A and B are shown apart, each in its own frame.
Chain A
Amino acid sequence: MRPSNISMTLVLAISATGAFAQDRGAVVATYADIAEAAYSDSLLTAKALQSAVKTLIATPSEESLADARLAWLAARVPYMQTEVYRFGNPIVDDWEGKLNAWPLDEGLIDYVAPGYFGSQENDQAELNVIANPEFMLSGKKIDAREITADLLSNVLQEADQNEANVATGYHAIEFLLWGQDLVSDAPTAGQRPYTDFVQGAGCTGGNCDRRAQYLSVATDLLVTDLEWMVGQWGKTGPARLAVTDNPDLGVAAILTGIGNLSYGEMAGQRVKLGLILHDPEEEHDCFSDNTPASHHFDVLGMHNVYTGTYRRIDGTVVSGPSLQNIVAEKDPALAKALDTELNTTLASTQALRDAAAAGMSYDMMLQVGNAKGEAMITAVVDNLVAQSRSVERISSVLDLSGVVLEGDSTLDAAGEVFK
């Protein structure tokens, strides 16, 4: 179900657009600069989270747990703005599941409430590795006495080829910091007590040593993974070179990113499914009730790469020639249209944040019979679909149709399938 890589063959086959190559070169340089800055900010905030987690584990208290949660929320702000890089950049797409895979069967990781349902067919939905130093997995006995990065990344992540087995990344950490959100008719997030991390007497939930170990390893992994991605966008990083070596492919990647995140991912799955299933489990940041912010910064990331401007967490601004500029040269009305649409979508995701701040959390919006919540989320979906049409038009105006939006190597002439 993951989008396939953009076909190199098609990219090479399209006619040369030498006259615009220089403009496009500057545009993709901005795009890569924003990626580097946003992943660097994700790394900085992940390190702050790592430090807050260390404090929580060393001195569990209401306060240190609250601080760790705040650090997690802050870490989501730059990271969600990088999601637009996921589509169109195979290096990002192949990697991102380690950080942001979702939805997850959290019973794989830790204790869950009675009445919890894992997804169907997931034999590990209630494995609870924190409580089980030894268990069977696909007929093999697993020694999990020590909770290590290897155990999380190579044994538990997608165990048994099941995507609901998510052992690493933001959502695994989120679950450990908040616990399950069992209340969907009041503005309450997960209520994990800090005592779940108290060592020795006073420990709640059992196995506090292993829980602390898990949280610590998962947070370290997040930092390591982000360090790697920052490098990919550095001066000679392969992710940067992939877009700057061929500016047409780079511009195509920008459009694919905005188009697929808007249409297939958010409007088609992530935002829409929760709405039509009325299921709080279908909430992206379901443990922390952070979903409105999560959606909002996804859209802001699209706006960043379209306008070539990113505000870093320290307030400085990274900017340069943008996709919007080159579209404006060819079709000013269309260039403006996408800008306006992105701003409209941002207003609708901001409305979700405002409603959540005023006491209507995202899981309440999803409840059957909440017409106001339904209308607000529907507006977000409709706006995402509307902006995706402009993305299609832009690909055509820039002579990139056939490159941008297929994003699918199996679409090549039949013979290519066997190569």
Chain B
Amino acid sequence: MRQFALIALLLMPLQAKADDPVDRVLTKVVLPGVEDFAEKTATLAQAAQKDCTPQNPDLISAWNGAMDAWFGIQDLRVGPLEEASRRQIIAFWPDIAGHRQRALGRILSGQDKILQTPEQYHDEPVSARGLYAIETMLFDPDFNGYTTADPGCGLVRAASADLANIGAEVKTTWESDFVTVMRTAGSAQNTRFLDTSEARQVLFTALLTSLQFDVNERLGLPLGTFDKPRALRAEGRLSARSQRNLALSLENHEKLALALVADENAAVGTREDFQRLRWMVSELDDPDFSGVDDPASRFKLEAVQTGITLLRGTVNKEFSTALGVTMGLNALDGD
């Protein structure tokens, strides 16, 4: 179906010029982002192949590189990452129920025979795949004691190779298909985006959804309530990357926002808010957000959370005017 649609789109004369904001996002965010993620996940797979142990500095650095690269594309809540569950395969988080430890434990105990056919690793549940499964294997003291002779080694290799495959898939699917689908929004043959505003709306919705994800999950989960902080729920706690993840997340939201509205005189409030937040996050000094337990440092995290909530309101106001769209359905509006 998709291929057919693509051929139809390629055959038609390209009268429809891509909408400027959409085109800027494709050029400045999407294409470099998917390229980088594919490259960094491939590097990770190679490093794991060479030396799979957590003592290998190249492996740790390659995993960090892949994690960093993820933030360059996490805001693309449309197209390839929303198909075939690729978002969840790459980044299944949060996992409050603890699926990850159970799934990895099942594989390591040999109860699941997948490591005999590592090329089939894509059949595994998302809890045993992707960046966070590898993080658990490399950083969680319950899992990272393996040597080259143990199943953990095979698991890290298989999961890294699987992730690299997904990274490559995301890149090629965007390049060979979805970029065109977005660029031809509103053309008669385009059944995905019936007019140009639908393509703008989906990117605008993605930005607001991602900001909400930072508020509710990235910060909201570890903050819990004042009486019951939940430090263990912080994203990147194992690798002490919680603060870095949040900083990169905001940096990339800003990149997307500035691509959507390029005029420096527009969305002034948004620009200021991003700048202030960048400074606030840099002042945190709380790498794994364990500060949620301490009233003084907790206060700073709460301030950042409020700052993002306010930023989100500003983005909504300024961008719906600038782009002429309102927010669409929000993927986080479930239970």
Partners in one complex: yes
CB distance from B274 to the nearest CB of A (A): 14
A window 168-208: CB within 8 A of B: none
B141 CB–A CB distance under 8 Å: no
B window 189-209: CB within 8 A of A: 194, 201, 208
Question: Is there an interface contact between B327 and A402, defined as CB atoms closer than 8 Å?
Answer: yes
CA–CA, A401 to B316, complex, Å? 13
Interface locus among A48-56, A129-137, A297-305, A387-395: A387-395
Question: Is there an interface contact between A407 and B312, defined as CB atoms closer than 8 Å?
Answer: no
Question: Is there an interface contact between B123 and A410, defined as CB atoms closer than 8 Å?
Answer: no
Question: Considering only CB atoms, which chain A residue lies closest to B227 in the complex?
Answer: A161
CA–CA, A119 to B92, complex, Å? 16
B255 CB–A CB distance under 8 Å: no
A368's partner among B89, B124, B225 (CB-CB below 8 A) is B124
- Point out which of B85, B89, B212 has the most chain A C-beta atoms below 10 A from its C-beta: B85
A103 CB–B CB distance under 8 Å: yes
CA–CA, A406 to B215, complex, Å? 16
Question: Is there an interface contact between A269 and B334, defined as CB atoms closer than 8 Å?
Answer: yes
**A417-B313 in contact given A120-B98, A121-B230, A277-B126 (Cβ < 8 Å):** yes
Question: Is there an interface contact between A279 and B96, defined as CB atoms closer than 8 Å?
Answer: no
Question: Is there an interface contact between B309 and A417, defined as CB atoms closer than 8 Å?
Answer: yes
CA–CA, A263 to B125, complex, Å? 21
Question: Is there an interface contact between A279 and B125, defined as CB atoms closer than 8 Å?
Answer: yes
Question: Is there an interface contact between A265 and B335, defined as CB atoms closer than 8 Å?
Answer: yes
User: B residues within 8 A CB of A416?
Assistant: 313
B329's partner among A2, A263, A270 (CB-CB below 8 A) is A263
Q: Interface 1/0s, chain A 336-369, versus B by CB < 8 A?
A: 0000000000000000000000000000000011
B165 CB–A CB distance under 8 Å: no
Question: Is there an interface contact between A160 and B329, defined as CB atoms closer than 8 Å?
Answer: no
User: A residues within 8 A CB of B331?
Assistant: 263-264, 268
Question: Is there an interface contact between B333 and A121, defined as CB atoms closer than 8 Å?
Answer: no
Question: Is there an interface contact between A270 and B334, defined as CB atoms closer than 8 Å?
Answer: yes
CA–CA, A279 to B88, complex, Å? 15
Question: Is there an interface contact between B330 and A417, defined as CB atoms closer than 8 Å?
Answer: no
Question: Is there an interface contact between A368 and B125, defined as CB atoms closer than 8 Å?
Answer: yes
Question: Is there an interface contact between B96 and A402, defined as CB atoms closer than 8 Å?
Answer: no
- Point out which of B215, B314, B329, B332 has the most chain A C-beta atoms below 10 A from its C-beta: B329
CB distance from B133 to the nearest CB of A (A): 12
CA–CA, A243 to B92, complex, Å? 38
Q: Interface 1/0s, chain B 133-146, versus A by CB < 8 A?
A: 00000000000000
Question: Is there an interface contact between A269 and B335, defined as CB atoms closer than 8 Å?
Answer: yes
Q: Interface 1/0s, chain A 257-278, versus B by CB < 8 A?
A: 0011001111011101001111
Q: Interface 1/0s, chain B 304-320, versus A by CB < 8 A?
A: 00100110111011001
CB distance from B213 to the nearest CB of A (A): 11
A window 106-161: CB within 8 A of B: 117, 119-121, 160-161
Question: Is there an interface contact between A407 and B326, defined as CB atoms closer than 8 Å?
Answer: no
CA–CA, A179 to B272, complex, Å? 56
B276 CB–A CB distance under 8 Å: no
CA–CA, A275 to B125, complex, Å? 8
CA–CA, A368 to B112, complex, Å? 10
CB distance from A392 to the nearest CB of B (A): 5
A2's partner among B208, B310, B335 (CB-CB below 8 A) is B335
**A405-B330 in contact given A2-B335, A416-B313 (Cβ < 8 Å):** yes
Question: Considering only CB atoms, which chain B residue lies closest to A266 in the complex?
Answer: B334
Question: Considering only CB atoms, which chain B residue lies closest to A368 in the complex?
Answer: B123
Q: Interface 1/0s, chain A 397-419, versus B by CB < 8 A?
A: 00001100111101111101100
Question: Is there an interface contact between B334 and A121, defined as CB atoms closer than 8 Å?
Answer: no
- Point out which of A160, A266, A412, A414 has the most chain B C-beta atoms below 10 A from its C-beta: A414
CA–CA, A2 to B335, complex, Å? 5
A405's partner among B102, B317, B329 (CB-CB below 8 A) is B329
A3 CB–B CB distance under 8 Å: yes
Q: Interface 1/0s, chain A 215-241, versus B by CB < 8 A?
A: 000000000000000000000000000
A164 CB–B CB distance under 8 Å: yes
B313's partner among A1, A279, A369, A411 (CB-CB below 8 A) is A411
Interface size class of A (residues with CB under 8 A): 35 or more
B334's partner among A260, A277, A278 (CB-CB below 8 A) is A260
CA–CA, A131 to B59, complex, Å? 50
**A402-B326 in contact given A119-B96, A164-B97 (Cβ < 8 Å):** yes
User: B residues within 8 A CB of A1?
Assistant: 216, 332, 334-335
A87 CB–B CB distance under 8 Å: yes
Q: Interface 1/0s, chain B 208-230, versus A by CB < 8 A?
A: 10001001100000001101101
User: A residues within 8 A CB of B317?
Assistant: 413-414
Question: Considering only CB atoms, which chain B residue lies closest to A270 in the complex?
Answer: B334
Question: Considering only CB atoms, which chain A residue lies closest to B233 in the complex?
Answer: A121
Question: Is there an interface contact between B96 and A121, defined as CB atoms closer than 8 Å?
Answer: yes
Question: Considering only CB atoms, which chain B residue lies closest to A4 in the complex?
Answer: B333
B328 CB–A CB distance under 8 Å: yes
User: A residues within 8 A CB of B232?
Assistant: 120-121
Question: Is there an interface contact between A408 and B102, defined as CB atoms closer than 8 Å?
Answer: no
B window 73-111: CB within 8 A of A: 85, 88-89, 92, 96-99, 101-103
CA–CA, A31 to B290, complex, Å? 48
Question: Is there an interface contact between A120 and B96, defined as CB atoms closer than 8 Å?
Answer: yes
CA–CA, A406 to B89, complex, Å? 27
Question: Is there an interface contact between A277 and B125, defined as CB atoms closer than 8 Å?
Answer: yes
- Point out which of B97, B208, B233, B325 has the most chain A C-beta atoms below 10 A from its C-beta: B97
CA–CA, A414 to B270, complex, Å? 11
CB distance from A387 to the nearest CB of B (A): 11
User: A residues within 8 A CB of B216?
Assistant: 1
**A405-B97 in contact given A265-B333, A410-B313, A411-B208 (Cβ < 8 Å):** no
A103's partner among B97, B194, B224 (CB-CB below 8 A) is B97
User: B residues within 8 A CB of A411?
Assistant: 208, 312-313, 316, 327
Question: Is there an interface contact between A264 and B333, defined as CB atoms closer than 8 Å?
Answer: yes
B242 CB–A CB distance under 8 Å: no
Question: Considering only CB atoms, which chain B residue lies closest to A381 in the complex?
Answer: B85
Identify the B interface with A (CB < 8 A). Answer: 85, 88-89, 92, 96-99, 101-103, 123-127, 194, 201, 208, 212, 215-216, 224-225, 227-228, 230, 232-233, 306, 309-310, 312-314, 316-317, 320, 325-335
Known A391-B329, A402-B320; further 6 A-B contacts with Cβ < 8 A: A1-B335, A87-B333, A263-B329, A269-B334, A276-B92, A410-B313
CB<8 Å pairs between A and B, sample of 12: A119-B98, A120-B232, A263-B329, A263-B334, A268-B331, A391-B329, A407-B333, A408-B333, A410-B309, A412-B313, A414-B313, A414-B317
